[in-house]
């Protein structure tokens, strides 16, 4: 038995969906353990593209059970739309293939309204939230005033909890933001309809996974966003609202940490970021535009253009340490194929001092300048490579350098968006 955690090792958008899709072949249960529909996992099977925001990427494999753990916040409308789209494509024909933990917190209309109003009020000081209500939902969870799926499926209990919290939310929206209040009856009618559908998938992730562990099954835990966006360990306050590091898998799925055996960090061969916040290797020139165009760097959830930069090994070492990453899955190497030379950031320069660690103080980080090593490019098509030996020597040299300065070995390499455009160096489930 081997249980594997997949985490983003950068600022998100690293290609976790494809890697989870590949590793699902070896697992029996696939678990999403944090975040909400602010994540977007794009999967390409053959010529068909599927974008998922809540349902684990393993759902494209028949016979695999997919579980949405208690650490997730769920927008019922988005979830139901995903189910409808998947069934239309021939997936999820058996509803028992999907389970939602009863302790999942529900994203309510007032969460979205508050999220949007806050960003609008901040003007040019906005954080860069997706506006999906994720942060306000986690706030209510921690404040012990959230509404969970187990509440939603009980009409009287749901109505009572909504009546307790809605007056406060409407006061906040009206008096502080100058926005229109929300109608209680309309919310109850809409969300009661959602409850009838969501109730089919209600279960307890912790108990189900415990049974799987006792039966010796292999489990795959799927994270969203990236380690540098972790609420505790990321570039706060320019972070997401949940624990994106590997430790979040234990909390967000109800599984003890001794049952997590391998941690695979997903990283692009360069680096991107969406929204505001410091970004030491950001390219604000034609090279940045070229990477964005070649990598089709636009958010799967929001469509926003991503900020692009050279690979940052300082940030990667931070992710390796905080998540205990045992192997790297490198994606989008093919995006660099046309470049005559490629840079890797190996350290930062801060006021004349050389830093080999990622500063926690944002006032320091924003004034850090990357120290680069430049390597020769390969300028040839690598999308047909299926072994490392198929790659040009310059591409192999780049990967060797990337892993060395990241202080972590590579276990998988993606050379194109399709499932088959992948080189597996070692299998974390084989250990």
| Residues known to be catalytic | 13, 41
**Alpha helices per DSSP H over 123-154:** 134-142, 149-152
Strands 307-309 and 271-273, sheet pairing: antiparallel
Contact by Cβ (8 Å): 129, 275 = yes
Structure tokens at 370: 């990357």
Nearest to 311 by CA among 393, 402, 229, 415: 402
First to last CA, the chain: 8
Separation of alpha carbons 266 and 248, rounded Å: 16
- Peptide linkage before 387 cis (omega within 30 of 0): no
Q: Report how far residue 360's alpha carbon sits from residue 365's, in angstroms, rounded to the nearest whole number.
A: 7
The single-letter DSSP state of residue 110 is H
Helix H or strand E encompassing 164: helix 155-171
Contact 30, 66 (CB under 8 A): yes
List the beta bridge partners of residue 106.
74
Count of alpha carbons within 13 Å of 285, Cβ hemisphere only? Answer: 4
Q: What are φ and ψ of residue 222, in 5° steps?
A: -110, 120
Rounded distance, CA 323 to CA 239, Å? 16
In angstroms, the Cα distances linking 77 to 4, 74, 101, 133 are: 30, 9, 17, 13
H helix and E strand count, the chain = 13, 20
Question: Where is 404: in which H helix or E strand?
Answer: helix 393-406
| Cα angle 325, 329, 332; round to 5 | 140
Cα angle for residues 419, 220, 102 (degrees, 5° grid)? 120
Element (H, E) at 266: strand 262-268
């Amino acid at each position: 038995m081997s249980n594997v955690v997949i985490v983003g090792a950068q600022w998100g958008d690293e290609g976790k969906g494809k890697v989870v899709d590949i590793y699902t072949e070896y697992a029996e249960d696939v678990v999403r353990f944090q975040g909400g529909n602010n994540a977007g996992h794009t999967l390409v099977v053959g010529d068909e593209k599927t974008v998922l925001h809540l349902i684990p990427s393993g759902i494209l494999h028949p016979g695999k059970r997919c579980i949405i753990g208690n650490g997730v916040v769920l927008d019922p409308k988005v979830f139901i739309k995903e189910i409808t789209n998947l069934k239309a494509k021939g997936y999820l024909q058996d509803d028992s293939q999907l389970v939602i933990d009863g302790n999942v917190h529900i994203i309510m209309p007032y969460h979205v309204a508050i999220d949007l109003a806050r960003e609008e009020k901040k003007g040019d000081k906005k954080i860069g939230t997706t506006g999906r209500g994720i942060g306000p939902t986690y706030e209510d969870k921690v404040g012990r005033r959230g509404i969970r799926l187990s509440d939603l499926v009980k009409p009287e209990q749901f109505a009572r909890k909504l009546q307790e919290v809605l007056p406060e939310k409407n006061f906040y929206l009206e008096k502080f933001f100058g926005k229109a209040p929300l109608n209680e009856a309309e919310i109850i009618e809409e969300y009661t309809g959602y409850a009838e559908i969501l109730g089919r998938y209600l279960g307890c992730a912790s108990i189900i996974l415990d049974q799987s562990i006792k039966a010796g099954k292999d489990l795959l835990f799927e994270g969203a966003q990236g380690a540098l966006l972790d609420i505790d360990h990321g570039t706060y306050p320019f972070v997401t609202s949940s624990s994106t590091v590997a430790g979040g898998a234990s909390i967000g799925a109800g599984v003890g940490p001794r049952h997590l055996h391998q941690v695979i960090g997903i990283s692009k061969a360069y680096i991107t970021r969406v929204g505001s916040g410091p970004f030491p290797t950001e390219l604000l020139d034609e090279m940045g535009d070229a990477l964005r165009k070649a990598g089709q760097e636009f958010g799967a959830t929001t469509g926003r253009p991503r900020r692009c930069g050279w690979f940052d090994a300082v940030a990667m070492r931070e992710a390796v340490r905080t998540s205990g990453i045992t192997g790297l899955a490198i994606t989008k190497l093919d995006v660099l194929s046309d470049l005559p030379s490629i840079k890797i950031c190996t350290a930062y320069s801060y006021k004349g001092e050389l830093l080999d660690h990622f500063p926690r103080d944002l006032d320091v980080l924003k004034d850090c300048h990357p120290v680069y090593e430049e390597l020769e490019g390969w300028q040839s098509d690598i999308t047909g490579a299926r072994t490392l030996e198929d790659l040009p020597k310059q591409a192999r040299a780049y990967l060797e350098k990337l892993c060395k300065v990241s202080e972590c070995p590579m276990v998988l390499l993606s050379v194109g968006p399709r499932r088959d455009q992948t080189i597996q160096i070692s299998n974390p489930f084989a250990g």
